[in-house]
Amino acid sequence: MKKKILLVEDDQTLSQLLLMELEEAGFDPVHAEDGAQALEILSQQSIDGILSDLYMPNIDGLQLVDALAAKSMEIMTIIMSGSSNAEITLKLKQKGVEHIFIKPLHDEQLSNIFTLLASG
């Protein structure tokens, strides 16, 4: 059975590319455009892993991680960000996010993400 992965990304072009890559890697991807839509999907579907952008409108990646913790939802969450911010990285690590990748994502990073999602 394919693992269902929630992709939370507001950039449409990147979303289409990542959804295709996730599907080709053997996952069953579901897309949300922001954290608010992700929480709605999570309330309706069983999700095995989350690949989320950090900076998005409405509810961002950090707020999404907080909401997951508040709901006691233990789902492997991988964060992607267009910039490196030591303070945000520390906050994410303190909240249990072990894997943060800087965009643009390269083939090796995608391979690492897919391995993490498959094992999580």
Please determine, for residue 120, whether its predicted confidence score (pLDDT) is greater than 90. no
Residue 84 is part of a domain; what is its CATH number? Answer: 3.40.50.2300
Collect all residues with Cβ–Cβ distance below 8 Å to 118 and sequence separation of at least 6. Answer: 3, 25, 26, 27
The parent domain of residue 42 ranges over: 4-119
Residue 1's pLDDT band (boundaries 50, 70, 90)?
confident
> How many independent structural domains does the chain possess?
1
Specify the pLDDT at position 77.
96
Q: Is the pLDDT of residue 84 over 90?
A: no
Per-chain mean pLDDT for the chain = 95
- pLDDT band at 63; cut points 50, 70, 90: very high
Q: Which of 69, 71, 68, 92 is nearest to 80 (CA)?
A: 92
pTM across the whole model: 0.95
> What is the phi/psi pair of residue 14, to 5°?
-65, -40
